[in-house]
Structure formats: C-alpha cells, structure tokens
Structure 1
C-alpha cells in the first residue's frame, strides 16, 4: 500500500477560488508497513488549516491501522487504497479525496469525517452539488458488503430471466448493476435495456433485500436514467419499467399517480420471488391507504406552563437562546437551541423533565441540573453561525432543524403572502405504514395551504419527498381534517391545491432536481426557493 499525502494549492479553475496554502508541507508515506514522515514548519497555521490537518491525520492514521484498507461507496468496494493510488490533497480551504479509477482521476472535496467504531471511517464528500458517502474499511472485514454485492449480481441474472419470460420475444441489449457516479444513478438497482416487439424499454429492478427507502428511491433513479438515455441512445427508449417486490410498492403507487407519463410511458410491476411472477400494477387503484393526522393540543386551559418552576428554571439557563416548542400532536414541550432539542418537559407525567441530545435522561438531582447547564453552554458555544470549528458535533447536528428554527418565526422571508400567525413545524403525517414529518405546514393570507420542504444538502429525493408530503396534506384537506384537528383556528381554508415550496441554499439543489421535478403533474403548484449559503447568519432569498 502506498499513501502519499501532500498539502498543495491548485491552478485549476473552480467556482470559488481561494489562495493555496502557504504554510508548511507535510508528507507521510507508507511502504510495506513502514512509515516515514517529513515535516517542515514555516509559520503558525491558522485555525481552519489546523482543522484540515487534523482531518487529514485522522484519515491517514485510520488507513494505516488497517491490514488491507479499501474504499467503498454505496456498500460496494471501489478498490484497495493501494490499487486506487489513493491520495489526500488540499484545494483552498478544502481537503481533497483523490483516487485513480481505471483511466480517470477522481477528486472529491471532503465535507466531513466520522469514525464508525474501530472498523470503518465514513467520509462525506461533495462534487458538483452532489453529496457522496465513502467508507474506508478493511477488505477482510467486509463480508456484509461483499454479500450485498454478490446478492445484487445474482439478482441481476434473476431479473433478466424474469423479463425474458414475461415480455414476448424480449431481447436484452444491456444489463448492469453498478453505480454511475457521473449521472447520479445508484448501483443498488439492476438496470436493463431491452426490446420487446416494437418497444424499447429501460427497466430498473430493486432486490427484496433492499430497505424501503431504496425501493421508494427507484422512481427518482429511473427518471434520471431515462433523461440520460434520451441524450445517449441513437434510438430513444420509449418506456420506463420499475420493478419492486410484491406488497412494497405503496409509496410508489401514490407518487406515480402524479407523475407525467405514468401508465403510458412509465410502468410499475411487482415481482413475487416465491412464485417467480411479475404482475402489472394499476396505479389508478391506490386502495384504501390508512392515513392519519395528529391532533393539535392546547395546554392553556389545563396548565399555564410558563409559570411552572421547572419551565422557569430551564429557561433561566439561557433564556435568550432557548426556544420552548410545543410538539405538534403531543402534550410535551421541547426545549431547543437553534433547532437542536436538548431537553423535554412532559406535562402529562407530572412535569417530568428529561435532557440530552438524542437519548434523554431524567433530571432528578442537583448534579443532573449542573450537567444540563454544561450541555446548554456547550451547545451555545458550538452552534454558532461562525463557529471556531465546523466539525463541532453540535454545529453539524440537525442542520435542517436549525434552518427551520430561523424560518418559522420569520416565515414571510420565504414569501410575503404566508400568514405568520399560523405556522406548524414538524407535523407528523402517516401514510400507510410510513411515518413522516412535514417540515413546515402553513397557510397564505387568503387561506391557501402551504407545504415547505427544507434541505440544506443536495438530495436526489427532494422532489419526491416534497410530493409525498403534499399528497398527505391534500388528502387531509379534501376531508376537512385540519379544522377538526385544531389547525388554523379561525382561518377559512381555501379548497385550492396546497402550494409546495422547496427551500434550500441556492447551490445545494441537486443537479438532477430539474430533471425530476419536470415529471411532477403541473397541477401541483411548486415554488423553488434558493436562499443564501451562509443562512445560519441570517436568511436571504436569492432565487
């Protein structure tokens, strides 16, 4: 294995050009298990450069600790670090991950590095507004990943036979099961091009071993692939086929009803691996989907919460930073700092207070209160618009909730037509067995419902997630459930379809966003809102 890590600048033109590093260079080389290093010191490094050096050292030391380190993406091995000529470099204020893939030199800007125990290091990277997740792990400890890889290969052969049996005179032109990084197509699906009669088909199939989110994501990947094929194939592919395991296509069915071309050019089929069958799904028949909207509770008549001693004591820890939020659909108050929950007051449990980020513990003793105070101080110190380090845990956690905490009290920054007096964050909405949270539910001044879907990182699934929540809101709207459940008190709601807002930093929209969103039924009013990249310091709409 050979690792050569150097700090260098770059003359390559990029979107945001900063001066290359001027401080000392550090090289570390490993050959045959022996490490040699050369360090040249010139001048004290600035804090951001020290942070990058620590990040680089963490990756370097972890790779050196493994007997056979390999690079993975999407659960599949790309190759051993030695085979890939894996290197780390610097470009401006970013650490670069670089490796050789066949004849291509791949470079990715590293956004974050996370240890997952002693056997895996996750590296979150960005490239052309894409968010990618790499892993460094020992190839010897990768049995589950190899299992998935082999399982997908076997499934590929199974799907090929299934197509040949179910489509008359079918001829398979191409069959692949690998990631297409350039076009943002996941390697979790089998992709087939085949001819049946006069029709040319593009088919994606999902293995029954995949989780539900992967199955639901097949539609976005299919639409992206279809758009790519339109540009690549000399003869256009006319039809798109999505194949999922039986009884696991409920979300897809609800989405496809609002996708242009569904039922004519885009089809859904369910496979039963026990019966070796492939059955066409009628998307017009979504069945009786069990959906639920939670009740809005009012604490006022039962207890003046702000006057309780526990409430006052929590707020006194840092009243100017703490925001008490009544959770929609419950009788629990969530205490948050810039969107991050650190404590909860359970009114129905005799005022029981719990604290912690993630798993919470009860506050019973003076020592517990002291620990709570230390937690609050740390969150305030780390969760700043301009932190000392962007790698701090509480800076990185729940960024979308941070964005939400800025939008909710100032909703008219997004659109002056939105009513600032009726804004509901994190509304639980159930669709069959799927439980989701609508980021923000609001209403315009004339009474039209509004759904706001927030994202702070590039996400292929943003259009479909927004569509899901719009469908749930529309479902309840048509049944007049919002008034009955306590939402929008004294507001006469319009029967017009809800507005769907996508809100994200301007350059964090995935480059596939327009390719997918154009397939959504135009009767759904969609508004794309681009905000400033440094939104933590104050939101501005720039697009």
Structure 2
C-alpha cells in the first residue's frame, strides 16, 4: 500500500492530465477498450475541489464526470483510476495517443492479408500485366509507412505505380493516400532504368471512401501523369474505377459574414470580467477574436484561454454572457467559485507563453500553428505588401458535400484576387494536399456567381454573403500560399506540389526559424519556377 507521501496531490494529478492532453491533441479516452471520446472533437475540464481532482469531458454524443484518484504511466498511455459518484468501486479509464486500438500483431497481419488481396485483384483486373514488388515495408528516408501497400504494374517497357490502403486503417490514413501515391510515383520514375517509363499512378481506396481522394486527384497535373482512382470492396473483391472528371467542382455553401464589432459589443461585459482577472501588465497582450455573432474568444499568441458566449437566460427572457476558461480543449465555466482557478491558470499562461519562453513548457508549445497565425495576422502587411492585411478572415466556415472545412486564413491581393493561406509550424507531410482542399472550396465559392437585385454584375458567394465588403472580388481562381519555418518544411512537400495542376497558382514561403521573435521570409518557391 502506498504511504501518504506517495499519494499524488490533486494538483499533481491535474498537471499530469493537462500535460498529456497538450502533448497528444489527437488522444482518445477509452473505457473497457471502447473509445468514449476522441479529443480532437471533445472538450474537457480539469479542476480541483476540496482536495479532489475532477475530470470532466463532453462532446455532442455524451458527458462524463469523474474524480481522479490515481494515474498510472504506461507505454505512451495513461491509466486513470477514477471514482464515479455513487459507484461502489473505482473504475479505470485509459488515455491513448490516438484511436487505433489494434495490437501490432493484428495490425501487421491485417496489412499482409490486404497485400495478398490486392495482388489477386490486380492480376485478375489487368490481364497481360505483371504485378511486381508489392510491399508495405517502412521506408522513413522516402516517407513511406506500413499503412499503404505499394508496387508496380508492368507491361513491357511501360509501367505504372500502384498504391492501396485497407478499410481497416483510419479515415485520415485513407484520405492521405494521394500524398504517398505521388511520392511513390516520383520514386519509381527516379529509380527506373532507362528502358522503363512510368506513365501514371493507380490509387486503390476502400469502397465508399473515394470522395476526398477523387476531389484532390482532379486538380493534379494529368499531363504529367495518368492518375487513376479505384475502389476495392474487400469482401466481394470487386475493383471499380472512379470517374474524377467532375470531382473538382463540389457543391459548397458559405455562412453569412457577421459583424466583428457587433459581436465584441455584445460580449463586452463578459470580456471585461475576464480582463479584471488578468495581471495588469498582461492585459495589452490579449487578442480578441469573434467566432460568431454571439461568441468571442480571448487569445494569447493564438491560444484561446477564455470564451464569452452571449445568449438567452434559460430562466428568463433576458440576455446573459456565459464565460468559460481553459487552454485548448480545456473548458471550465467561470463562476465565483472558479475565479481563483482562472486567475491561477492565466498567471501560469502569461508567465509561460511569451516570445522568450521555455520550449519544454506545454503552455509554450501548445497550438504552434495558432501562434504562427497570430504573428502572420499582425505582420502580414509588412511581410507581404501585395496582400490586403486589412481584409483578413480566419477560420471561415465553408461547407462542402456535408463536411465542414476550416480555412486557416483568407484574404485578397491588391488586385482583388482571393488568396488562401495555409500555415504550419512543424513538419507536415500532407500540407500541400490539405491546403488544396481549402483552395478547392474557395475556388468553388468564388466561381458561384449570381446576379442580385443590388448589383449590375454577377456576385461571387463571398460577395453575396458580405465577405470583403465594398470590394470587387476577381473571378480568377484563388492563389494558394503555404508558409512554414524553413527548417520545418517537410522535404516531400515541394515534390508533391510539382504534380499540382497548372491552374493551381501556388507559392511556398519559408520563414525564419525564430519566427516568434521576428517574422521574416528566408526563401520562396512558386508554381511558375522552372526548377521548384
């Protein structure tokens, strides 16, 4: 039995939970092996009350409140011993880095079975061709992971690269296949002997999972390679081709723009209450960002630490401000009882999150993209004078085929042409195609031009929904701007960009490594560069 000295305090337990969730934003909470919460979609609160550590989580599906009495460290996981009110015995929860709960043995076995399946299917579907070198071995030097099987389809001196992914993999892994497919095609071309020509790429995804890949593939350079997409039903072993010709024009809808100034005015009493809890010398560092007509976030270097929501009182017809605080997905209601906790959090946050902070501190490291976005917003006019720094939208909600996408930044250049800006503070293999997703949606919204009673010319969806007021938006396709610290650009990003359609006018900006202290451009590459 542990002694009293060995029992961690409520504060120590809360700190362990907060640090783990800050370091693992894609974590999942499990009970009896079943995923209760995907932390990419859930909110949580870690509080201390009467010497107890209270852990609350909620999402659209469920709500959970437990008292944490012990935390056991396991390989990359936390086993959390909790007590539920009224329950006779403690119950165990588990925090894991992601939602994939397959054991290494079962995962490897499933991938070997899928590889054999693909070889059978391709041999039947392409008679006269030879399926060669199918494998899924890890190759970190060239960014190839074991989730994808890759190989070649040979026909005399002609050849095609092949890549496939099983339905057992996660949805994000399936959607990311095209990045690896392009890299595999590029690898095959660069390592083929002089007699062999790789004319294209065949991509195989599970049945019902082709939409994202088809939409992306439609905007690749089909003059540079013959890109083909197939779906595979793993039960019937049926391989079906997918027509991607119309996939680049998905139906998109745009929410009406709201008044930032009006939102701030509605939430001002709540904002004032939070500001009174901050250290006086810290108040000038706070950013205010309206998320909707009735919600405003308070941020420090891009990290939202408090929210004010203006709405109806459930007990009367009057309006009131609901205030919550917490970094990231951590969210706690601000009441008289939690004011001291809010002061303590804000004091820690402002002491940790500054330009000369300690990189090991979770509050310094959390959400680096949001910090980079904050610096970009503040310095855009000086950094890129050709862009309209005064006309800048962050996280514009855009709906496409029922899925909600979020744009990092959206602005105009001095000629009225839309510019999509995607920022990354760390290496991201899939940055180009994720940015392409946003570009596709913005292009569709800008191309949706209709006449209205108030205009003598057709207006784009952005103009009809009151974005960029008093500005005529160019009908040209948007520009795509990607930015990342120079030493954090994944080496595969530029090879992937080279396979984009010439219609995608892209530019990659490399920033100085010390961008928190000073935002500077180190070098830039453009789609028009001959040797990009």
| Equivalent residue number for residue 240 of structure 1 | 201
**Equivalent residue of 2:475, what SS?**
coil
Does residue 163 in structure 1 map to residue 134 in structure 2? no
The CA distance in 1 between the partners of 2:354 and 2:261, in whole Å, is: 33
- Deviation digits for residues 78-121 of structure 1, max 9, x if unmatched? xxxxxxxxxxxxxxxxxxxxxxxxxxxxxxxxxxxxxx962223
Aligned with 1:534: secondary structure? coil
Residue 350 (structure 2) pairs with residue 380 (structure 1): yes
Residue aligning to 2:153: 194
Contact kept? 1:299, 1:331, Cα under 8 Å: no
Name the SS of the counterpart of 2:106 in structure 1: helix
The structure 2 residue matched to 1:313, chosen from 267, 273, 280, is 273
Aligned match of 2:404 = 435
Q: 2:239 aligns with which of 254, 278, 283?
A: 278
The 5-angstrom pairing of residues 130-529 of structure 1 reads 144-196=103-155, 199-234=158-193, 235-261=196-222, 265-286=226-247, 289-298=250-259, 300=261, 304-305=265-266, 308-316=268-276, 317=278, 318-327=282-291, 329-349=292-312, 350-357=320-327, 358-365=329-336, 367-387=337-357, 389-479=358-448, 480-529=460-509
Give the corresponding residue for 2:51: none
Contact 2:251/2:444 (<8 A) preserved: no
Gaps of 5+ in 1: 1-115, 123-136
Mapped to 1, the partners of 2:445 and 2:269 lie a distance apart of: 39
Are 2:263 and 2:296, in contact at CA under 8 Å, matched by a contact in 1? no
Q: Match for residue 511 of structure 2?
A: 531
CA spacing shift, 1:269–1:394, aligned 2, 3 Å: same
* TM, length-normalised to structure 2: 0.72
C-alpha contact 1:333 1:346 (8 A) present in aligned 2: yes
Which moves more between the two structures, 349-358 or 156-165?
Answer: 349-358
Give SS of 1:222's match.
helix
Partners in 1 of 2:264 and 2:431 — Cα distance? 40
Under a length normalisation based on structure 1, what TM-score does the superposition of the two structures give? 0.71
Conserved in 1, the CA contact under 8 Å of 2:483 and 2:508?
yes
- More displaced 10-residue stretch of structure 1: 479-488 or 452-461: 479-488
Q: In 2 relative to 1, CA 302–469 (structure 1 residues): closer, same or farther, beyond 3 Å? A: closer
Q: Distance in 2 between matches of 1:302 and 1:201?
A: 55
2:73 aligned to 106, 110, 118, which one?
118
In structure 2, stretches of 5+ residues that fail to align are: 1-70, 78-95, 313-319, 449-459, 524-532
Measure how far apart 1:292 and its partner are.
Answer: 2.8
Give yes or no for contact 1:458–1:510 (8 Å, CA) kept in 2.
yes
Decide whether aligned partners of structure 1 residues 386 and 194 sit closer, same or farther in structure 2, where only a CA change above 3 A counts. Answer: same
The 1:191–1:314 alpha-carbon spacing in structure 2 relative to 1, beyond 3 Å, is same
Q: Distance in 1 between matches of 2:206 and 2:176?
A: 13
Cα displacement (A) at 1:231? 2.1
